[in-house]
Copies of this chain bind each other. A is one copy, B any other.
């Protein structure tokens, strides 16, 4: 049976003052605590509290489903990531996947593997962040799993969304001659990570406001749902993906599944002022970081050049910067072109688990 109430999602009930930690609360107490903080959602018939959640997909729409696992000391560090923003990001990366299909995010499942040293306060703050992100994007938390972890904190999130079949945007539709677009600026999250690696204990301190913004891009990304939905609705785009592993790797997925290639003009890749300022601190060629650094959660999409002005206008209306950065080619390779015209073939250099 669905446990709902009219409480504000930002407030987690602390009425039981004797509840000091998770072992005191117990598994089912923890589930009830999380459920009581969640809000009802569109299409939710039965939420947290039965063997399975029951939802109604909107008539005529298809179901979109994606899942992400975030592991402590692999995807995040507790020393860098405060629990509130970790909760936000845990859902944001999944919402971004639904956005990249042109879908409307609807329902989420949240599973936690909780180490013995984690406080109840951490879980409360994490949940508060998760539910704030959910609320901002119209997502309802409808289920999950909680268990004890003997390793670090484990987060697994499944998201479901929906969309009319004709508006779903896949990776496979890019055509030679299409523009390659990206939203926002690239490399900020990767640069933020470089800053944290150099200054692990005092977030942003010494790097000024620009540094804080870069670090915030890493720790609290914003999925581009509104822009993605607007793009899908117009029918003007041929393929889309979210940039989680870096532009080269992610456009590489579009190229592979569309059986095309592409050329990225390096000097067209949008860089933020903060990124440019911080570039002097790193030893590598900054464009490498911009096109190969992951976790920006911007969109990469393709569209015929005839649509260029309309897309620019549409993105402006959404309040999102969007930039054409290259062109889809018939060659199966993904290349970059520097300002002086030199070209080099690129292998996908995005983040890859299991490479040692």
Partner of A97, one of B51, B107, B165: B51
**Does A199 interact with chain B (Cβ within 8 Å)?**
no
Residues of B contacting A150 in the complex (Cβ-Cβ under 8 angstroms): 71, 73-74, 151-152
Interface centre among A22, A69, A109 (most CB of B within 10 A): A69
Residues of B contacting A101 in the complex (Cβ-Cβ under 8 angstroms): 50-52, 54
Chain A 144-165 near chain B by CB (<8 Å), digits 1 or 0: 1111111110101011110001
Q: Find out whether the CB atom of B69 lies under 8 angstroms from the CB atom of A111.
A: yes
Q: Find out whether the CB atom of B147 lies under 8 angstroms from the CB atom of A67.
A: no
Q: Find out whether the CB atom of A147 lies under 8 angstroms from the CB atom of B74.
A: yes
**Does A314 interact with chain B (Cβ within 8 Å)?**
no
- Min CB distance A317 to B, Å, is 24
Partner of A63, one of B57, B154, B158, B354: B57
Q: Find out whether the CB atom of A51 lies under 8 angstroms from the CB atom of B241.
A: yes
Chain A 133-150 near chain B by CB (<8 Å), digits 1 or 0: 000000000111111111
Partner of A23, one of B27, B28, B68, B354: B354
Partner of A55, one of B63, B71, B100: B63
C-alpha gap A67/B62 in the complex (Å)? 21
Among A268-311, those with CB < 8 Å from B are none
> Given A113-B69, A158-B109, does the pair A62, B55 have CB atoms closer than 8 Å?
yes
Number of copies of this chain that the complex holds: 2
Provide 28 A-B residue pairs closer than 8 Å at the C-beta atoms, listed in order of the A residue.
A1-B170, A26-B352, A27-B354, A51-B66, A51-B97, A52-B65, A52-B66, A52-B100, A52-B161, A53-B66, A54-B64, A54-B168, A57-B63, A65-B107, A65-B143, A67-B111, A67-B144, A68-B145, A69-B112, A69-B145, A71-B151, A111-B156, A145-B156, A147-B353, A148-B353, A150-B152, A154-B154, A158-B158
Q: Find out whether the CB atom of B53 lies under 8 angstroms from the CB atom of A109.
A: no
Partner of A67, one of B73, B74, B143, B240: B143
Partner of A62, one of B54, B71, B111: B54
Residues of B contacting A25 in the complex (Cβ-Cβ under 8 angstroms): 354
A29, closest chain B residue (CB) = B354
C-alpha gap A51/B144 in the complex (Å)? 21
- Min CB distance A276 to B, Å, is 30
Partner of A354, one of B148, B165, B240: B148
Residues of B contacting A156 in the complex (Cβ-Cβ under 8 angstroms): 67, 69, 111, 145, 154, 156
C-alpha gap A112/B352 in the complex (Å)? 14
**Does A14 interact with chain B (Cβ within 8 Å)?**
no
C-alpha gap A26/B149 in the complex (Å)? 26
**Does A242 interact with chain B (Cβ within 8 Å)?**
yes
Q: Find out whether the CB atom of A149 lies under 8 angstroms from the CB atom of B111.
A: no
**Does A30 interact with chain B (Cβ within 8 Å)?**
yes
Chain A 98-140 near chain B by CB (<8 Å), digits 1 or 0: 1011010001010111101000000000000000000000000
Q: Find out whether the CB atom of A154 lies under 8 angstroms from the CB atom of B113.
A: yes
